[in-house]
Amino acid sequence: MAPEEIAELLRKEFGDGVADSKFDTAHPRIGVKPEAWPKIARFLRDDARLGFNFLRCVTALDLLEDDQLSATFDLHAVRLPAKEGADCELVHGLCVEVRTPRNDPRIPSVADVWRAADWHEREAYDLMGILFENHPDSVIGPKGRHPRRILCPDDWAGHPLRKDYMFPMEYHGIPAVTEMGQTRPVH
Amino acid sequence: MSWIENRLEEGLIVTSLDWAINWGRRYSIWPMTFGLACCAIEMMAIGASRFDVDRFGAGAFRASPRQADLMIVAGTVTYKMASRVKRLYNQMPEPKYVMAMGACTIGGGPYFKNGYHVVKGVDLVVPVDIYVPGCPPRPETLIEGIMRLQDMIKNQTLARDRWQGAKEKVIATTPSFV
């Protein structure tokens, strides 16, 4: 199915849950509201017409101009080979974008729908600070429940890939920023 | 040799003993396998037949810090790794030497300016004896570094042992976390 048809199908099923979509780009994507995302994710996987059984990638974006953070889910529908040794067949692909406000970025986790989302969501939390709610690998932090960090140390402050991130001045006694270094990333 | 170290003036006995001990030490440097990033590939190359660091007595790569004399920090040290580097250094028996291999380890390298996660030089964490520049250094450069370390060991004397005297200082100048 083409992304336009899938968007039409989702709008018929979920109505307001579907946000603005973009189809005239190299990477056509369907916008989805955070509160509707777990239901839509389950529908995308389980509906016989769609059958998106493979989460390829989760990408987090910092949209500083719009004051939003976005998580982009790349989905593939893969048909398993009929006989052993044959290649998997790609039926169709889809990209879903979930946007959330920058000051309180919360998106429900879909790690129970696609297992691949587990580590991807942990990374998106670690580097971009998107709080995936009800993530299976969550810990209690000072600001409440959040997914466990995956790359940075557990006591790291901030989320390094955000555009307004400030580099640490020291970490456990090791000086970090020198007089020649930068205190923030350049984009 | 702790019963003799730092107890005697530099006399005849110590000098001759120095020569024998330093001869033994410098031709049996056992490095620790400590590959953190791409520099480790070059470090593996010196152990293989083409460059064969066994010719200089430094080919016995040990998997445990407790059996090693030389820590070749080969690769990018992140803040997450720094506490492990420190702990491994503390686990090494004396005499112990540290070689900072490659640009990242010497001063942060390409991550010096924009890296939020890289220690700007492993000498902020452990005391470094030899700096081997390069990105990554060629195996010949690393062998040169080992030979310079051998020169350094050659000039050591039991009368002025740097670990016995400097013990307090070395620990105090390095971070005191885990």
Give me the DSSP letters along B126-149. S--SEEE-SSSPPHHHHHHHHHHH
Other Cβ atoms closer than 10 A to B173: 12
Look up the pTM and report it.
0.80
B70-74 and B97-101 beta bridge pairing: parallel
Residues 6+ apart with CB under 8 A from B40: B34, B74, B75
Q: What is the pLDDT of residue B108?
A: 85
- Tens of pLDDT, residues B32-69: 988 898 999 999 999 899 999 999 988 889 889 999 99
Q: Give the residue-averaged pLDDT of A141-168.
A: 87
Other Cβ atoms closer than 10 A to B33: 17
- Sketch out chain A's domains with CATH numbers: 3-157 (3.30.460.80)
Contact B112 A180 (CB under 8 A): yes
Q: How far away is chain A from the Cα of B170, in angstroms, using its nearest Cα?
A: 15
CA distance B88 to A150: 23
Contact A152 B124 (CB under 8 A): no
CA distance A76 to A92: 6
Decide: A31 and A63 in contact? Cβ < 8 Å.
Answer: no
Question: What is the chain B residue with the closest CA to A155?
Answer: B80
Question: What is the chain A residue with the closest CA to B112?
Answer: A181
Banded pLDDT at A81 (limits 50, 70, 90): confident
Residues 6+ apart with CB under 8 A from B178: B83, B86, B87
Phi, psi of B72 (to 5 degrees): -90, 105
Q: Give the residue-averaged pLDDT of B145-157.
A: 89
Q: What is the pLDDT of residue B45?
A: 92
CA distance A78 to B80: 38
Select the more confidently predicted residue: B50 or B114.
B50
Contact B117 A152 (CB under 8 A): yes
Select the more confidently predicted residue: B178 or A103.
A103
C-alpha closest to that of B142 among B108, B100, B104 = B100
